[in-house]
């Protein structure tokens, strides 16, 4: 699912997106809600109502800035909606719902979350007492009453974007992980990366304090002074960019505007401090032009800190970005030039400075909304601090290597876990067959192949007759046993190229490549007859089952939903005609046991 979401994000600017319904295969599974949601600008309380029809709404990718999806100048209110299907509720198993939660990533500038029409929380506050909070990630418990009896959960997010931001900032559900699953698992996934951020903060403060201590012992080493100051400021910036400021009591007590001013003030001043440190390490005396350039950054920082309100931050950001770009290129050229002349300090810093420059340019482009990509400035700061720390003392190399190795190991573990989750998301755990998602992928491939070859295929829907009565008489364990045996029996009758999947409950769906409707009817009758003649022994019971099958042929221009709808209509006609029969889309039914004719 995450891979699909990434592909959608890459293609979203050039291809139309289609809203999807998210499916939770198990209450123990984490499902990422990344993909197309319904979206509408404006504000109406009725839009939180699950019965409200959002069919005419636009589709929009999440997580992604809505400015990059046709809403460049949109400020004020907008709504997102998505539907999630939770298993087991339709069968009366609601006891596990209390374990479920939903995580929302970063949303600009404030929002309220509604689940099944119930407001469960939010971040920031709306006008008239507006308080924008744009970088809070939260996990909410899902109220069991928010899920209807069919297992459907309507997720609605009311979002407000500050009208003074214009095009200078991000908007909507723009970044982070949006997921549903066990609440504890969701919180672990959020706070693992925050634990890494806290480790970085502690490391930066340790670097800074140690080098300030060394300068206090020897005032002839100014590079230790500037490195200590830069390291401490990077630690504060990293803390401001993390979630800790929202959950630690005394940090959370500070108004969010003050946090943002500190964040901007630090980032605006950082180039001036970095240039001073670079000159000390390379033993260069700054020119008058360099001093004037540094003073410009100090002025930006003072404006951000002292001028009241948010407007000064958004109005100066783009100007500061234009101002810093020449300095980034000039300092990189300077470091490379000194490295080429054999300066050992410059050689050590070249890679770190190049990484920092790349990360800084990445964040500038991201801030302008030109691309959808994570912000990397914290990584850039880490690279440049490590490279400069190596120049000052090789003892820090081991610390950085251990941290980097741990980060890579954790990343590999997460990648392996994600691969397993992606595979599990395609399979039905009870029968071992493909589920809806896996079947849809197969059909998409077959539609593409049919478009090239001109040879169609057949989709068949099959439903076990009177399956509820089987469950009621013999118990759900017997019902699960029957589903497993029926799945084995049906799949054993198919060709290698055919596909069978569990569509839901006691329904199965078939994909028969390069098969016409009559060929599908022949196979369907064989499947029906085989199951009718088979008895299943479960404990002390003998189960006799039958199925009704509806078949439809693919025609050029159709999609999966069209084929399934036609096959399902034929299946419904078979049920109406008395069950235990095969019905073809738009044709007379085959003769079945008991002589029951039916038509679709």
- Four-residue CA torsion sign, 130, 131, 135, 136: negative
Smallest CA-to-CA distance from 26 within 95, 85, 76, 110 is with 85
Quick one: pLDDT at residue 168? 57
13 pLDDT more than 70: no
Question: Are 169 and 242 found together in one domain?
Answer: no
Question: Are 346 and 455 found together in one domain?
Answer: no
Of the CA atoms within 13 Å of residue 597, those in its CB half-sphere come to 3
Average the pLDDT over 157-171 and give the result. 79
CATH number of the domain bearing residue 566: 3.30.70.270
Question: Are 44 and 166 found together in one domain?
Answer: yes
Q: What are phi and psi of 396, to 5 degrees?
A: -80, -10
d(CA 505, CA 464): 9
Domain that holds residue 295: 190-393
Question: Are 163 and 270 found together in one domain?
Answer: no
592 pLDDT more than 50: no
- Four-residue CA torsion sign, 217, 218, 219, 222: negative
- Four-residue CA torsion sign, 488, 494, 498, 500: negative
Smallest CA-to-CA distance from 156 within 33, 12, 9 is with 33
Question: Are 387 and 488 found together in one domain?
Answer: no
What are the tens digits of pLDDT across the range 373-396? 667 777 777 777 777 777 765 434
Q: What is the mean pLDDT of the chain?
A: 84
For the entire predicted model, the pTM comes to: 0.58
- Four-residue CA torsion sign, 430, 434, 440, 441: positive
Assigned domain for 430 exists: no
DSSP H helices, 283-343, are 288-306, 311-340
Of the CA atoms within 13 Å of residue 134, those in its CB half-sphere come to 20
Show Cβ contacts of residue 431 under 8 Å, excluding neighbours closer than 6 positions: 483, 484, 487, 502
CA distances from 81 to 41, 47, 62, 291, 487 (A): 12, 9, 11, 52, 35
Question: Are 143 and 217 found together in one domain?
Answer: no
Question: Are 132 and 156 found together in one domain?
Answer: yes
Assigned domain for 194 exists: yes
Quick one: pLDDT at residue 595? 35
Question: Are 216 and 306 found together in one domain?
Answer: yes
Given 339, 374, 393, which residue is the final one in a domain?
393
Return the H-helix or E-strand segment holding 535: strand 535-538
> Any idea which residue has 């080429």 for tokens?
340
Given 358, 373, 393, which residue is the final one in a domain?
393
Average the pLDDT over 300-325 and give the result. 89
Assigned domain for 424 exists: no
Question: Are 164 and 229 found together in one domain?
Answer: no
Give the three-class secondary structure for 112: strand
d(CA 511, CA 400): 53
471 pLDDT more than 70: yes
Length of the chain, in residues? 600
What are the tens digits of pLDDT across the range 181-194? 999 999 988 888 88
Report the range of poorest mean pLDDT among 24-28, 102-106, 141-145, 594-598.
594-598
> Any idea which residue has 């190596």 for tokens?
390
Total domains present in the chain? 3
Question: Are 561 and 525 found together in one domain?
Answer: yes
Assigned domain for 428 exists: no
CA gyration radius, the chain? 30
Assigned domain for 227 exists: yes
Question: Are 206 and 169 found together in one domain?
Answer: no
- Four-residue CA torsion sign, 304, 308, 314, 315: negative
Confidence grade of residue 261 (pLDDT, cut at 50, 70, 90): very high
Assigned domain for 8 exists: yes
Return the H-helix or E-strand segment holding 248: none
Question: Are 69 and 95 found together in one domain?
Answer: yes
CB-CB contact of 325 with 362 (8 Å): no
What are the tens digits of pLDDT across the range 267-311? 899 889 988 988 887 888 888 999 999 999 999 999 999 999 888
Average the pLDDT over 532-542 and give the result. 87
């Amino acid at each position: 699912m995450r891979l699909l979401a990434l592909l959608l994000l890459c293609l979203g600017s050039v291809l139309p997106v289609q809203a999807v319904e998210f499916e939770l295969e198990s209450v123990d599974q984490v499902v990422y809600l990344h993909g197309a949601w319904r979206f509408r600008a404006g504000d109406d309380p009725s839009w939180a109502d699950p019965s409200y029809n959002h069919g005419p709404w636009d589709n929009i990718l999440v997580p992604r800035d809505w400015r990059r999806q046709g809403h460049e100048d949109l400020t004020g209110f907008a709504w997102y909606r998505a539907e999630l299907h939770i298993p087991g509720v339709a069968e009366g198993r609601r006891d596990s719902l209390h374990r479920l939660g939903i995580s929302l990533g970063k949303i600009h500038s404030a929002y309220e979350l509604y689940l099944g029409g119930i407001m469960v929380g939010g971040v920031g506050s709306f006008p008239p007492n507006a308080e924008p909070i744009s970088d809070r990630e939260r996990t909410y418990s899902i109220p069991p009453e928010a899920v209807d009896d069919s297992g459907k959960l309507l997720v609605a997010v009311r979002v407000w974007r500050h009208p003074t931001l214009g095009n200078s900032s991000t908007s909507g559900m723009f970044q982070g992980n949006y997921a549903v699953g066990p609440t504890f698992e969701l919180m672990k996934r959020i706070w693992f990366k925050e634990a890494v951020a806290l480790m970085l903060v502690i490391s930066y403060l340790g670097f800074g304090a140690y080098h300030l201590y060394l300068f206090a012992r020897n005032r002839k080493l100014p590079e230790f002074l500037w490195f200590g100051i830069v390291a401490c400021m990077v630690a504060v910036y990293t803390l401001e960019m993390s979630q800790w400021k929202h959950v630690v009591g005394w940090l959370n007590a500070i108004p969010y505007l003050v946090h943002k001013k500190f964040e901007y003030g630090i980032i605006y001043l950082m180039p001036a401090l970095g240039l001073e440190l670079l000159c000390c390490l390379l033993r260069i005396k700054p020119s008058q032009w360099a001093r004037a350039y540094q003073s410009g950054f100090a002025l930006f920082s003072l404006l951000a800190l002292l001028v009241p309100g948010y407007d000064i931050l958004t109005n100066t950001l783009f100007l500061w970005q234009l101002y810093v770009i020449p300095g980034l290129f000039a300092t990189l050229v300077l470091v490379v030039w000194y490295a080429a002349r054999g300066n050992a300090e410059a050689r050590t810093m070249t890679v770190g400075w190049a990484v920092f420059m790349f990360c800084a340019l990445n964040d500038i482009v991201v801030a302008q909304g030109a691309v959808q990509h994570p912000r990397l400035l914290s990584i850039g700061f880490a690279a440049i601090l490590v490279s400069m720390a190596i120049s000052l003392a090789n003892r820090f190399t081991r610390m950085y290597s251990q941290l980097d190795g741990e980060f890579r190991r954790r990343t590999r573990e997460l990648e392996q876990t994600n691969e397993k989750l992606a595979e599990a998301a395609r399979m039905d755990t009870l029968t071992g067959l493909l589920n809806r998602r896996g079947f849809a992928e197969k059909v998409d491939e077959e539609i593409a192949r049919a478009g090239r070859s001109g040879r169609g295929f057949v989709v068949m829907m099959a439903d076990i007759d009177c399956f509820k009565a089987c469950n009621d008489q013999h118990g759900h364990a017997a019902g699960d046993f029957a589903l497993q045996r029926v799945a084995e029996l049906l799949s054993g009758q198919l060709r290698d190229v055919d596909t069978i999947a569990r569509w839901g409950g006691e329904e199965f769906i078939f994909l028969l490549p390069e098969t016409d409707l009559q060929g599908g009817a022949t196979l369907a009758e064989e499947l029906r007859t085989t199951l009718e003649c088979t008895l299943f022994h479960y404990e002390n019971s003998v189960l006799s089952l039958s199925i009704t099958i509806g078949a439809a042929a693919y025609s050029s221009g159709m999609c999966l939903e069209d084929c399934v709808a036609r096959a399902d209509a034929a299946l419904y006609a078979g049920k109406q005609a008395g069950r235990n029969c095969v019905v073809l889309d738009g044709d007379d039914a085959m003769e079945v046991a008991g002589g029951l004719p039916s038509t679709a």
